[in-house]
Amino acid sequence: MRGPHNIIRLIRTGATLERSGAMKVVLEAFEAPPLMRFVLRGLAWPFQWLGIKGDPDAPPLPRALTALGPAYIKFGQVLSTRPDVVGGDLATELRVLQDKLPPFDIATAKAEVERELGRPVDEIFSEFSEPVAAASIAQVHRARLAETGEEVAVKILRPGVEKAFRKDIDAFYFAANTIEFLSPGSRRLRPRDVIEHFDHGVSSELDLRLESASASEFAANTVDDEGYQVPAVVWEHSAKRVMTLGWAEGVPLGDNDALDAAGHDRHALGSRVLSLFLNHALRDGFFHADMHQGNMKVAANGDIIAYDFGIMGQIDEYTRRVYAEILYGFIQRDYKRVAEVHFEAGYVPADQDVDEFARALRAVGEPIFGMDADRISMGRLLNYLFEVTERFGMATRTELILLQRTMVVVEGVSRSLDPRVNIWDVAQPVVATYIEQSIGPRAVLKDLTKTARVLGRFGPRLPGLVEAALMKQNETPVRDQSKAWLWVSLAGGGGALIGAAAVFCAVWLM
């Protein structure tokens, strides 16, 4: 329920942050102004006795987020990939939230497997280990199939995790509604829509059948990607709360010392993480949307192995084209073209001036390109672009929030491997190839071919459809005919615009 009782939960959130010392850590990490620090800590201090104590042996922020529950842990996982935002020490502390949380016992895990798969664990697996990784939603066990001897990873949802997430999400909805009510100006940012998007993503992550399907589709898309592996799904031993995959053997991508000891080139790995993500988003329109270090390993041959496919992103072909043109325009520093694309797609209100918008974009881009490679940041570009959106009246586009967030995470992972990775140098060939294949003359021919196929399929029915439409028009009073054609025209125009779901938020994180 999203009623006022959530006020208590939100107060407990602030109290827990203050009681654990995490409030101070967060405000310092984000360099909050002194007045803001005084106000927030002053409001939380009287209620800190309501805060959850948590593990006293854990650092303040991981302690607080773990105590608050899985939705808050998700937030910490994102911060763990952003040493440029929260600092290297804090980012390292937060990495325990990726796959090193307290596990539930093996007896409970086996009971969950038996309940879901309908067979005793010892009958399915000849070996079944203690938990090897535990995160906010599930934990993983290493096992061996009794029939084939194949080593596999068995992922099991935490007992009661669905109910815990529901409580957090309800509190988030209440907070978003309150913000929109008290601050009408915040509606441009669409906080409720953002929470709805998060809610949908979490709901998908809590059904491992959907994750199995995503892993299978993603493996098919990336089978020819050099230096990239996706473990195969063992479908007969997967269900709603249990998922079985081939075992991924390798060095964790977040362990730089181990990567160095194994002789891997961290600069090359950082560049490959970025280029693979851009390829999957642009080429396939289907990408891994939870690409933190805890979900990737490096095989002995240097391949990146991806796993945990609970959160996947999808963008349609038209949006990919617009997004690629905007990104390529920034790479080429062609701000006029970037501005024109925004107007053509309807992301900027038509009453704004395209040349003025182009100058504003130049003010965003030029300082970034003037920086050294190790200081270029998607996050910094996001902050600058956010200011531009407010000035030109653009609203938050929830359709691409997942792409935004993933770009931030991917940049953080890449920089954690080597801060000298130049995101623009990596992006240029990927985007240029996509532009050549999807926006040039070849793309026009491809689009015409698709149109011809559709007409061919519906061609035999067109005469009857036209005749029926004309007969209906003749039966409609003259006064209503113009109204009918108006609605038809509006519907057609609206359908075209829907395909162009706003890309501006995605550009924020380039």
357 alpha carbon, distance to own chain's centre: 28
pLDDT in tens, 169-195: 887 788 777 777 766 666 655 677 767
- Which regions in the chain score pLDDT beneath 50? 478-479, 481-510
> Which residue, 308, 309, 298, 302, is CA-closest to 249?
298
> Which residue, 375, 378, 346, 348, is CA-closest to 360?
348
Q: Please report, rounded to a whole number, the percentage of residues in the chain having pLDDT higher than 70.
A: 74
Are 229 and 244 in contact by the 8 Å Cβ rule? The answer is: no
Structure confidence at residue 478 (pLDDT): 47
Structure confidence at residue 67 (pLDDT): 81
Structure confidence at residue 372 (pLDDT): 56
Count of H helices and E strands in the chain? 25, 10
Phi, psi of 365 (to 5 degrees): -80, -40
Beta-bridge partner residues of 134? 100, 139
For residue 303, CA distances in Å to 112, 178, 244, 381 come to: 33, 47, 21, 30
Are 245 and 155 in contact by the 8 Å Cβ rule? The answer is: yes
Catalytic residue among 99, 170, 225, 290: 290
Task: For residue 290, indicate whether it is catalytic.
Answer: yes
Structure confidence at residue 152 (pLDDT): 97
Structure confidence at residue 127 (pLDDT): 96
For residue 475, CA distances in Å to 461, 468, 470 come to: 22, 11, 9
Question: Residue type for 162, please?
Answer: E
CA distance 312 to 137: 16
> Which residue, 79, 82, 86, 54, is CA-closest to 69?
54
Question: Residue type for 327, please?
Answer: L
Structure confidence at residue 389 (pLDDT): 66
pTM: 0.70
